[in-house]
Structure 1
Amino acid sequence: MASVRASPRGALLLLLAAAGVAEVSGGLAPGSAGVFKKSDGWVGLGCCELAIGLECRQACKQASSKNDISKVCRKEYENALFSCISRNEMGSVCCSYAGHHTNCREFCQAIFRTDSSPGPSQIKAVENYCASVSPQLIHCVNNYTQSYPMRNPTDSLYCCDRAEDHACQNACKRILMSKKTETEIVDGLIEGCKTQPLPQDPLWQCFLESSQSVHPGVTVHPPPSTGLDGAKLHCCSKANTSTCRELCMKLYSMSWGNTQSWQEFDRICEYNPVEVSMLTCLADVREPCQLGCRNLTYCTNFNNRPTELFRSCNAQSDQGAMNDMKLWEKGSIKMPFISIPVLDIKKCLPEMWKAIACSLQIKPCHSKSRGSIICKSDCVEILKKCGDQNKFPEDHTAESICEFLSPADDLENCIPLDTYLRPSALGNIIEEVTHPCNPNPCPANELCEVNRKGCPSGDPCLPYSCVQGCKLGEASDFIVRQGTLIQVPSSAGEVGCYKICSCGQSGLLENCMEMHCIDLQKSCIVGGKRKSHGTSFNIDCNICSCFAGNLVCFGRPCLSEHSSDDDRSTFTGLPCNCDDQFVPVCAQNGRTYPSACIARCVGLQDHQFEFGPCVSKDPCNPNPCPKSQRCVPKPQVCLTTFDTFGCSQYECVHRQLTCEQIRDPVCDTEHVEHSNLCTLYQRGKSLSYRGPCQPFCRATEPVCGHNGETYSSVCAAYSDRVAVDYYGPCQAVGVLSEHSAVAECAAVKCPSLSAIGCNPIIPPGACCPLCAGMLRVLFDKVKLDTIAKVTNKKPVTVLEILQKIRMHVSVPQCDVFGYLSIESEIVILIIPVDHSPKALQIEACNKEAEKIESLINSDSPTLASHVPLSALIISQEHPAAEQRTMEQPTRKAKLMQAESVLFAEHPRHFTLMGYSEALASTRILKHSPESSRGQCGENLAWASYDQTGKEVADRWYSEIKNYNFQQPGFTSGTGHFTAMVWKNTKKIGVGKASASDGSSFVVARYFPAGNVVNQGYFEENVPPPKK
């Protein structure tokens, strides 16, 4: 063999033959897993060896169709098996178009024969031999090959380390990262390693294992030490009962549960309302809530909703909803543990039934609770009208059935159906908000990330990138980024015990280190009452949380109803009631505090800070680096204990003659961009900021960031992920609460709001409002110290937290900024990136903030699996991000009180004030875009004088005289009245503004919207007045 140089393909075949694997007609032998098997029986028989569970494998071998294994084999865990079956089924369909044309059929079958991606020559052969035989076959095969995830050669990089020769190791890595086809790779390895492929060679042995991979893009490795699914194992600790906790641990730990365990979990836990925390957590892992839904052909009312969250907006769920409707038309709805007899749903509220079927499949989810169940009132209504109540199970009514299926009826925890009884009003406006990673365009073993870096000048690029990742277990679909640190439950299976692992190049979690266990059973005693771990509650004006027996609270100063006049007159709203004097000091954690008083209040000793802002300090003078290295300023704010882990404000960079061609762009003080920091200094330039040069930063002008630090330009602030409060150097403490004195901000000239009618917020410590979603987050410093101790001994920084959160914001029109506040909480801002953002983009950023808040507060593995995000305890969305609304059992009476009640609120915190002001500025009465008001209806009023709330309410209500209660429905002359009195509306909000000519504009919004034109809705929601 050594004397004859085989071709690359021949070499690999020799290797496979030596290992006892024979090639048949261009693929593996029929006994190999994944082969398309011409069999008298079921086409899936050749896939059975891919089953993980023994019972599943046995059932597969005895089956005659996919339906026969559906009860034993769970699709979400037997990914490789079901992928193979689907491939074989598709091959059976496609190749049947070949008829009796033998050559065409053989080349078609070769496409589906193995689980490796089809090569160009295979695809070309099918086109050559089948084009004249069957266009349908060509179309069918093209659909398959275009959707097939290509195998990435870098999946096998770990094999290079098996080579005994160092030169071979380097050549191997270079080849796998630069070559794409099997021929190029084998040829390159033979030449680079100076050896023919031999089965006893460790390098080629590794490639042999990889070539027999049981799933596209996933190599064969020993099971990782995270159990079958580390992400779902994290959810088990949220079980409310010990039975469900133990069943959950059994199913997702190393001991794969048997059929009985799955059945018990389904019966006892899967639909148990007391286990909602665990079930929502599991749903987050299986199908995370994602913004946006479009391109459905059956559930069309769900399309064009870019700022709403859905778990399963895809073609499969769309088809599933249509199939459900066909089954329900037979007169029975089979639900867990109960069959519900119904009347003819083709005639009885068919649109409502369709909305239910689509909701159950598409799974819209609430941005805060992430729940996906429909509201109880909708369930009761449709069962009362369309349920065959004479055939209901004994002792069951519409109410009792719905109490089991849809127990919630508050809009925080359920989905109102009327939202999906009509199409979205958004047309082409949906293009203002995009979702590059939804649906996921990447192969099964890769992670989709939004491309926020842009493209090199003049080069086209995709709005997303696919990056290599690791799965959190043998049966897990949860993927984390390569090179990141991950927190997973301990293999021992004890609740509250975790370890930190790194996602290696091999695609496995490695270098795992055990952490100290957290006692999740430990509770807190507050006001004589016991609070369990993870619960949140209010103490005075602060939200608190019990975390493993420790009480953690936001630290805002409060005034209570018992505060004296003296207390109120001297109250500054700052920590320790410090004076609002701006005499900044720089602390050793890298944070500039407004005064020494505030620095002391957060626990700093006098020797741990010095006067002057941090930006005025030069960390490279004197030079702390060795002579062979250059000192480069690198400011950072540290969250870990700086006495233990340090918090250096510089980095030492080697003075190199040649720089690596790594793209990490930086901009110099002359506004010239360099590919990396090394190149910049090699050319003798000075750093202005990290990141690409931006046109709007050509002229440098100092700005004040929300963190109270002065930056040389907007871009210098952005490179720290800090947003700009105002132009010019920092000069004020800013606003901390509604009680804070704002005299210091009086001299600040705030920039104009980026959009009219947005719901502005003022971040803590800032002076100026901006359009953004905002979160205030508390973290566990002890856990951050532990993370730093067991990993790289380096401090955890605010920037690190923000960069990790940024990966979970899916809309490229929004970006993440933030800082450590003077109250020691992390403030996260999700801000539209456009200079003049559209209302829909602002709404999307607010929805992203709500989503992140919910994931933090629920300790969802979506975030908590990522280090250091696992140390975030509790998040509070800024109240200005919500409408100022009021419950309204009697709409007319409440509307009459609106002026005195609502206008007493600060107008800057009220969206409706913003829109009424916009109307007043243009003096044109027109409805706002539906996208800007979500699911709210809207009434407008104008008068040439200063009208009162009572006058407006009377005018709208007077339309009752034109309303025909005998023929209920919508008319343009009664729409204000019917919107006011709509029975299903829960909340109302009002805003008013005056124009320069003395005229006034009033805006009222109702949630959920009334005037729904579906059959029976006006009769139900606009009843005749009681006499």
Structure 2
Amino acid sequence: MATVRASVRGALLLLLAVARVAEVAGGLAPGSAGALCCNHSKDNQMCRDVCEQIFSSKSESRLKHLLQRAPDYCPETMVEIWNCMNSSVPGVFKKSDGWVGLGCCELAIALECRQACKQNISLSSWFTLSMFSYPFSAPKASSKNDISKICRKEYENALFSCISRNEMGSVCCSYAGHHTNCREYCQAIFRTDSSPGPSQIKAVENYCASISPQLIHCVNNYTQSYPMRNPTDSLYCCDRAEDHACQTACKRILMSKKTEMEIVDGLIEGCKTQPLPQDPLWQCFLESSQSVHPGVTVHPPPSTGLDGAKLHCCSKANTSTCRELCTKLYSMSWGNTQSWQEFDRFCEYNPVEVSMLTCLADVREPCQLGCRNLTYCTNFNNRPTELFRSCNAQSDQGAMNDMKLWERGSIKMPFISIPVLDIKKCQPEMWKAVACSLQIKPCHSKSRGSIICKSDCVEILKKCGDQNRFPEDHTAESICELLSPTDDLENCIPLDTYLRPSTLGNIVEEVTHPCNPNPCPANELCEVNRKGCPSGDPCFPYSCVQGCKLGEASDFIVRQGTLIQVPSSAGEVGCYKICSCGQSGLLENCMEMHCIDLQKSCIVGGKRKSHGTSFKVDCNVCSCFAGSLVCSTRLCLSEHSAEDDRRAFTGLPCNCADQFVPVCGQNGRTYPSACIARCVGLQDHQFEFGSCISKDPCHPNPCQKTQRCVPRPQVCLTTVDKFGCSQYECVPRQLACDQVRDPVCDTDHVEHNNLCTLYQRGKSLSYQGPCQPFCRATEPVCGHNGETYSSVCAAYSERVAIDYYGPCQAVGVLSEYSSVAECAAVRCPSLPATGCKAVTPPGACCPLCAGMLRVLFDKEKLDTIAKVTNKKPITVLEILQKIRMHVSVPQCDVFGYFSIESEIVILIVPVDHYPKALQIEACNKEAEKIESLINSDSPTLAAHVPLSALIISQVQVSSSLPAAGVRARPPCRSGCLLLLSLGLALHLLWTHN
């Protein structure tokens, strides 16, 4: 009989089927074959229910489904019922479509072996069960179906090992029957190619010994061939514990206890919780043992430290003690027990270390939009535009477990125990909101904090705290001063929000979160699919891509092929290296950068400003970066300025006239006039009259005869004299093009499979991506960057959003005091949304519904990055592409440009034809999240090259309004509305940048 590997999803489906057993017409007639078979399961009600459904089913597909799931509830040890069903129901012993070895097929090296494996050929004749004693015999495949005749074992070690392990696991774990916890722990033994750890084996013994001695015997036979591991190899698992007291206890136990019994018992006592497969701590012990199996390669520790992402946070410590402890814990070797205890005591709850602690929280659990599908903390569901760190089933279960512990009359914190009255009677809903908030961790888009507000803390402790048993010299106020020291709504969570369900209801479907919860395997990165499905084929709204972890003990994953900035492995403050994420899944080719002196300060107006601080000078935003002052270059005018100054004020750099006579700078940026180009630092020989897009960089042809010149417009942020900023690329002339599909559209509106094919046919490129019917006619549009594009599609292929219909003719608004005389002639599109107070990007004429970021960067650092990597310029497009990876809502997309005030302007724009208020709000929240990550130098962004050069950001969002549609100016012809609404939707079909 083929054993079906259990799955949670399958169990749930079957439970639903069992719940509907009453709907099966007729039931089983007494004395029928079905009734006689099912009587063999009278001591197992779940098995009996399934059995009755099998014999009652009148649908072939339903019967097949039930037969596949039956082994989950009727273990193979129930020989009588299986023999009976085998003789009564055709097909019971046919091998199921869910063959346990099927997931191993991709490990096959030879193509014919992989194909045979995917055809679900049985390995049973190769895999012998002689090492076990079973009350049944395994099915045997005929020789022609024997996979070992097609796949050579000497070449396919990984495949055979995987299948062997899965089939062993399927057989062993089938003894668990319907006992879910026992089955989960059993399956964890066989889930990976790692040696089972003592805690894994002990967990199986604890949960399965009383259920099935055969299962224990089966598992023991499998695990005895593996050598025991050093408990300290699992130290990094302790960081998975949600409770900091548990983290401390875990590290102490692993470094002091030797036997698995001592370790498991110590963890249960120290963490005040039983092992749960959903608990991240126990899950880590179950799944991440390091392999010592022969033939399995164990990679040496990377040169990035144990956790390069957390090591980045150590430089944010305010005290030298915490900085040194943090560095010791996350650099090349784990700290000792004393180091962990000292870090918990002096740093983990120290209010002055909020920057470091928030950074560590970002690494462990980044704030993500959306929460749903919770079964206990249901008031947190249906909140698609709110941020949470840990909206998942494990935290949901954790909140319920916390409530049960608190019902015993005490809330144990790492540094204080709080006695409470009977919380089942005193404010139970508020306590539930507290438990859920601490577990689900709602976080603010700006501060990313996850603590409850002080007033809520004081209120609940005054009402329900057992004040007679409070620790000496403590009151509700003093306790809350330790736990929740603020009532600032930008830094704390008001419980009132979660005392009632969300009011959004079904409209939450207007905003989706494909990567939350994460659907990808542990070693892969989830990315939102913004390209849509090719040729209308069905596909997922996300893709899982290979990645690298930032260290042996890190869960922080970066995309394969990207450049990453990590601190030096020794943890020296301000010292970094740039590494690439290689095909091996490891960081490699690391290159040291010059260390930055973070102790250097800036003197501004006679006052000292330390590194990393930001402040305003008149209307400009400034930041001190390693002793250098970086400021925006806005022209300022105050409300107290003289009338003559007001009349002469244009708002443009150097107060240049608001005349639009464009010039093209060597950096690839079109400036509205020569005056502005000179004002931003360009010499006369560094720009020429006319817009950059009007220039043909391939005339005269700068390439060799064997090469083709391809225009590649780009705006460079690095120093042009050092790294250049060519607007073309020389590519080899190929006789034959490959068949890789990367569609492009030519100027005749004909689509080609890729750029090579287009040029081979002698055509000219119009834009990247499939040809769109909206862009068939050449209808010029003006981008926010002041560049005129031949179509919406051409602009979008450069990640530039549209300001208005028609060629660029004006320089727009830069200041609330600047005049907009030339914009008066522009006819702006109607805003396609209700409930939006629009924002106007700097230099644009027309407002739009979007979240807008104005970002300052360190040009010197960009130059350094370019120097140590590929010696190529770093462009605006690179920045936008990287930022885009951090926008998790597919209903929002990223556009931007380099402003004439030397800022990077990033727009997070709704992409639907007529965006709903909820979608606009989601884009606003994404913008606020990105702003906070930039301003806090969070490794979530700063680990990615070149985003580490971004210093400070200001956000402006299109706030929601109850009123219906807003019009900025009289509408132009219908083409304007079509331009914005349809243009924004195009990215769903063909975004390639």
**TM-score normalized by the length of structure 1:** 0.68
Determine if contact 2:197/2:286 at 8 Å carries over to the other structure: no
RMSD: 17.3
Displacement, 1:517? Answer: 0.8
Q: Output the CA distance in 1 between the equivalents of 2:658 and 2:859.
A: 28
After superposition, the Cα gap between the structure-2 partners of 1:348 and 1:150, relative to the gap in structure 1 and judged at 3 Å, is: same
1:170-209 matches, cutoff 5 A: none
The 3 A distance-change label for structure 1 pair 836 and 192 is same
- Conserved? CA contact 2:710–2:730, under 8 Å: yes
Segment of structure 1 superposing worse, 245-254 or 612-621: 612-621
Show structure 2 runs of 5+ residues with no match. 35-91, 120-140, 962-967, 976-982
Q: Secondary structure at the match of 1:901?
A: coil
Measure how far apart 1:388 and its partner are: 1.1
C-alpha contact (below 8 Å) 1:630/1:652 kept by paired residues:
yes
Cα distance 1:380–1:99, how it changes in 2: closer, same or farther (>3 A)?
closer
Structure 2 Cα separation of the partners of residues 213 and 201 of structure 1: 22
Q: How far 1:162 sits from its partner (Å)?
A: 36
Distance of 2:346 and 2:414 partners within structure 1: 11
The answer as to whether partners of 2:197 and 2:285 remain within 8 angstroms in 1 is no
Contact 2:5 2:100 in 1 (8 A): no
Superposition map of 1:571-610 within 5 A: 571-610=649-688
Judge conservation of contact 2:893–2:908 (CA < 8 Å) in 1.
Answer: yes
1:244-292 Cα deviation digits (max 9, x unpaired): 0000000000021112111111111000000000000000000000000
Q: Does the aligned pair in 1 maintain the 2:433–2:495 contact within 8 Å? A: yes
Distance 1:154 1:526, change over 3 A: closer
Name the CA shift for 1:161/1:335 in 2 (closer, same or farther; >3 Å).
closer
The separation in 2 between residues aligned to 1:765 and 1:742, in whole angstroms, is: 10
SS at structure 2 position matched to 1:873: strand
Pairs aligned (count): 898
**Structure 1 CA distance, aligned partners of 2:325 and 2:644?**
59
Structure 1 pair 96–573 and aligned structure 2 pair: CA distance change class (3 A): same
Q: Deviations over 1:700-720 (max 9, x none)?
A: 210000000000000100000
Does structure 1 residue 520 correspond to structure 2 residue 598? yes
> Displacement of 1:661 after TM fit?
2.4
Instruction: Answer yes or no: is the 8 Å Cα contact 1:291–1:307 preserved in 2.
Output: yes
1:15–1:219 CA distance, 2 compared to 1 (3 A): farther
**Structure 1 residues 268, 43: closer, same or farther in 2, change over 3 A?**
farther
Q: Using the alignment, how far apart are the partners of 1:416 and 1:73 within structure 2?
A: 61
Tell me by how many angstroms 1:30 deviates.
48
Question: Closer, same or farther in 2 for the Cα pair 1:6/1:756, shift >3 Å?
Answer: closer
8 A Cα contact 2:834 2:916, kept in partner: no
Q: Indicate whether 1:693 and 2:693 are aligned.
A: no
Percent of residue pairs bearing the same amino acid type: 91
> Post-superposition shift, 1:538?
1.7
Distance 1:19 1:74, change over 3 A: farther
**Is the Cα contact below 8 Å between 1:44 and 1:66 reproduced in 2?**
no
Report the CA distance between 1:527 and its aligned residue: 2.5
Give the match's secondary structure for 1:513: strand
Q: 1:424 and 2:481 equivalent?
A: no
- 2:626 maps to 548
3-state secondary structure, aligned to 2:804: strand
Aligned twin of 1:630: 708
User: In 1, Cα distance between the equivalents of 2:414 and 2:248?
Assistant: 57
Residues 202 and 261, structure 2, Cα contact 8 Å, conserved in 1: no
The aligned runs of 1:118-267 (5 Å cut-off) are 213=291, 220-267=298-345
| Partner Cα separation in structure 2 for residue 612 and residue 624 of structure 1 | 21
Q: Secondary structure at the match of 1:610?
A: strand
Distance, in Å, in 2 between the alignment partners of 1:980 and 1:61 is: 33
Mapped partners of 1:293, 1:527: distance in 2: 47
Q: Secondary structure at the match of 1:270?
A: coil
- Listed one character per residue, the Cα deviations across residues 161-192 of structure 1 (whole Å, up to 9, x for unaligned) are 99999999999999999999999999999999
Q: TM-score, normalised by structure 2?
A: 0.70
Q: 1-side partners of 2:19 and 2:509: how far apart? A: 54
Query: Does structure 1 retain, via aligned residues, the 8 Å contact 2:531–2:989?
Result: no
State the 1:37 CA deviation: 30
Compared CA separation, residues 688 and 572, structure 1 to 2 (3 A): same
1:536–1:544 contact (8 Å) kept in structure 2: yes
* Pair 1:598–1:64, CA change in 2 (3 A): farther
Does residue 1:340 correspond to 2:397, yes or no? no
Q: Deviations along 1:853-905, whole A, 9 cap, x unmatched?
A: 000000000000000000000000xxxxxxxxxxxxxxxxxxxx999999xxx
Between stretches 803-812 and 58-67, larger displacement belongs to: 58-67
Displacement of 1:399 in angstroms is 0.7
| CA–CA distance in structure 2, aligned partners of residues 347 and 24 of structure 1 | 43
Task: Please state how far the C-alpha of 1:569 moved relative to its aligned partner.
Answer: 1.4
Q: Contact (CA 8 Å) 1:23, 1:29: kept in 2 or not?
A: no
Query: What is the rounded CA distance, in whole Å, between the counterparts of 2:420 and 2:894 in structure 1?
Result: 49
Q: How far has the Cα of 1:566 moved from its partner?
A: 1.4
| Counterpart-to-counterpart distance in 2, 1:756 and 1:786 | 46
Identify if the C-alpha distance between structure 1 residues 734 and 87 changes in structure 2 by more than 3 Å, giving closer, same or farther. farther
Cα distance in 2 between the residues matched to 1:472 and 1:435: 25
Deviations 1:984-1013 (A, max 9, x none): xxxxxxxxxxxxxxxxxxxxxxxxxxxxxx
CA contact (8 A) 2:370 2:388 kept: yes
**Helix, strand or coil at the partner of 1:510:** strand
- 2:28 corresponds to 1:28: yes
What's the offset of the Cα at 1:77?
Answer: 34
Whether contact under 8 Å (1:41, 1:64) holds in the other structure is no
Q: 1:638 to 1:462 in 2, by over 3 A?
A: same
Partner SS, residue 70 of structure 1:
helix
Deviation at 1:839, TM superposition (A): 0.8
Cα 1:860–1:58 change in 2 (3 A) is: farther
Q: Deviations over 1:830-868 (max 9, x none)?
A: 001111111111100000000000000000000000000
Q: Give the direction of change, closer, same or farther, for the CA distance of 1:981–1:381 in structure 2 (3 Å limit).
A: farther
* C-alpha distance in structure 1 between counterparts of 2:498 and 2:433, whole Å: 6
How big is the shift at 1:522?
Answer: 1.2
Relative to structure 1, the CA distance from residue 611 to residue 178 in structure 2 (aligned partners, 3 Å threshold; closer, same or farther) is farther
Task: Note if contact 2:601-2:624 (Cα within 8 Å) is conserved in structure 1.
Answer: yes
Preserved CA contact (<8 Å) 1:150 1:217 = no
Deviation, 1:555, is 1.6
2:125 is matched with none
User: How many Å separate the matches in 1 of 2:861 and 2:328?
Assistant: 28
Q: In structure 2, what is the equivalent of residue 326 of structure 1?
A: 404
> How far is the alpha carbon of 1:333 from its aligned partner?
0.7
Q: 1:662 to 1:572 in 2, by over 3 A?
A: same
Residue 552 of structure 1: how far off its partner (Å): 1.4
Deviates more, 1:265-274 or 1:57-66: 57-66
* Separation in structure 1 between the aligned mates of residue 557 and residue 494 of structure 2, nearest angstrom: 32
The answer for the alignment partner of 2:14 in structure 1 is: 14
Which residues of structure 1 form unaligned runs of 5+? 877-896, 903-931, 937-971, 983-1026
Structure 1 runs of 4+ off > 6 angstroms?
1-94, 99-111, 116-212, 214-218, 897-902, 932-936, 975-982
Going from structure 1 to structure 2, the CA distance change for 1:781 and 1:16 (only over 3 Å counts) comes to farther
Please identify, of 628-637 and 26-35, the stretch whose mean Cα deviation from structure 2 is larger: 26-35
TM superposition shift of 1:94: 8.0
Deviation at 1:815?
0.4
Q: Decide whether the 8 Å contact of 2:4 with 2:96 is kept in 1.
A: no
The alpha carbon displacement at 1:683 in A equals 2.4
CA contact (8 A) 2:331 2:570 kept: no
Partner of 1:749: 827
Instruction: Quote the Cα distance in structure 1 between the aligned partners of 2:986 and 2:687.
Output: 63
Alignment CA distance shift 1:164-1:285 (3 Å): closer
Deviations 1:130-174 (CA, angstroms, capped at 9, x unpaired):
999999999999999999999999999999999999999999999
Comparing 637-646 with 3-12, which one deviates more in the overlay? 3-12
CA contact (8 A) 2:581 2:587 kept: yes
Q: Deviations over 1:816-835 (max 9, x none)?
A: 00000000000000001111
Choose the corresponding residue for 1:70, options 148, 153, 156.
Answer: 148
The residue aligned with 2:952 is 874
CA contact (8 A) 1:434 1:811 kept: yes
Deviations 1:923-963 (A, max 9, x none): xxxxxxxxx99999xxxxxxxxxxxxxxxxxxxxxxxxxxx
Partner SS state of residue 255, structure 2? helix
Structure 1 contact 155–507 (Cα < 8 Å) conserved? no
Is this contact kept in 1: 2:200–2:286, CA < 8 A? no
Per-residue deviation, 1:671 = 2.2
Change (3 A) 1:624 1:66: closer
Flag the 1:605–1:126 CA change in 2: closer, same or farther, 3 A: same
* C-alpha separation in 1, matches of 2:283 and 2:496: 60
Q: Distance in 2 between matches of 1:426 and 1:634?
A: 45
Aligned residue number for residue 122 of structure 2: none
